[in-house]
Amino acid sequence: MEPISKSKLKELATFRQQKFCDLHNLFVAEGEKLASEIMAMGIHVQTLCATRVWLEAHSAMWLDKGLCSSMYLVTDEQLQRLSSLRQPNEVWMLLERQVCEIHNSQFKIQNSKITLALDRLQDPGNLGTIIRTADWFGVRHIVCSPDTVSRFNPKVVQSTMGSLFRVSVECRDLAEWLPSCGMPVYGAVLDGDDLRSVVTATPAVILVGNESRGISSSLQPFLTHRVTIPNIGDTCESLNAAVATSILLSHWIL
């Protein structure tokens, strides 16, 4: 186990900034749970930094499987410098973004016939939870507007808990993609038809809009069906985007 040098720590700490990850086509993944998922899937990690306790328990398995190019021992203080989390969790990893595409391709044959489309989602936790929920329901394809938060945002990666490697997420101009997708488009809106009375079809696109502003006015003409989740309590103004997506997917798939 090689202790990390000051120069290497300084170099890796730059990846706390998204612009450096974008520049080098890399992304950061953190935490013991995510590390276990990555190892179980046999995904290669470019750089791994971890505490002594974690390395003593796990480093041999990673090295035996050839899953890591560089591995460094770090102290809790050094891990804090690398991490974007409030409470860093034992292990920090740097991966090439293309590993997602390579691993996603293994799951494309599991087509649920549902495609999620996300318009301008801004909250990393919402996107991460939606990706994980899609994975749970067997949905393998998500199309995001270019102004949706990046799937490689560290908080998104953390929230997916490994589902990022099983769900294909691509950025497209939805105003161009929706009319050409060849599927009915069900848009989640406040003034739509009660979801309980909607006859669902597959294949289909389910479109979810921005957390506070909903679906863009420019995309409204492409909705073939407008649906709403009934506000039975009649008190809350709206649902969390990730929660709404979960309800919609359960309605279509279960």
Instruction: Give residue-wise pLDDT tens across range 163-191.
Output: 999 999 999 999 999 999 999 999 999 99
Distance CA 236, CA 184 (A): 29
138 and 42, same structural domain?
no
Omega before 3 cis (within 30°)?
A: no
H or E element in which residue 242 lies: helix 241-253
Which among 175, 241, 178 has a CA at the least distance from the CA of 210? Answer: 241
* 106 pLDDT more than 80: no
Of 46, 68, 96, the residue at which a domain comes to its end is 96
Residue 79: count of CB within 10 angstroms of its CB: 22
* 107 pLDDT more than 80: no
Give the pLDDT confidence of 201-220 residue by residue, as tens digits.
999 999 999 999 999 999 99
247 and 122, same structural domain?
yes
120 and 29, same structural domain?
no
Mean pLDDT taken over the chain: 94
Distance CA 166, CA 160 (A): 10
The CATH code of the domain that includes 29 is: 3.30.1330.30
Task: Give the pair of three-digit tokens for residue 91.
Answer: 């292990």
Residue 166's pLDDT is what? 94
Residue 114's pLDDT is what? 95
State mean pLDDT over 14-26.
96
133 and 79, same structural domain?
no
120 and 41, same structural domain?
no
Number of separate domains in the chain: 2
Distances (CA, A) of 41 to 36, 102, 103, 215, 242: 9, 12, 9, 35, 26
Distance CA 116, CA 249 (A): 9
If pLDDT is split at 50, 70 and 90, which confidence band does 161 have?
very high
Residue 95's pLDDT is what? 98
pTM: 0.93
Of 64, 96, 128, the residue at which a domain comes to its end is 96
122 and 48, same structural domain?
no
Of 96, 126, 150, the residue at which a domain comes to its end is 96
8 and 118, same structural domain?
no
State mean pLDDT over 41-51.
96
Residue 24: count of CB within 10 angstroms of its CB: 14
67 and 189, same structural domain?
no
Percent of the chain with pLDDT over 70: 98
116 and 58, same structural domain?
no
The CATH code of the domain that includes 122 is: 3.40.1280.10
Residue 110's pLDDT is what? 64
Which among 14, 25, 74, 22 has a CA at the least distance from the CA of 48? Answer: 74
Contact call for residues 65 and 192 (beta carbons, < 8 A): no
Residue 81 domain boundaries: 2-96
Distance CA 236, CA 85 (A): 31
* 108 pLDDT more than 80: no
134 and 28, same structural domain?
no
198 and 149, same structural domain?
yes
127 and 7, same structural domain?
no
* 123 pLDDT more than 80: yes
Backbone angles phi, psi at 229, to 5 degrees: -85, 120
Distances (CA, A) of 78 to 26, 81, 193, 215, 231: 20, 5, 53, 43, 48
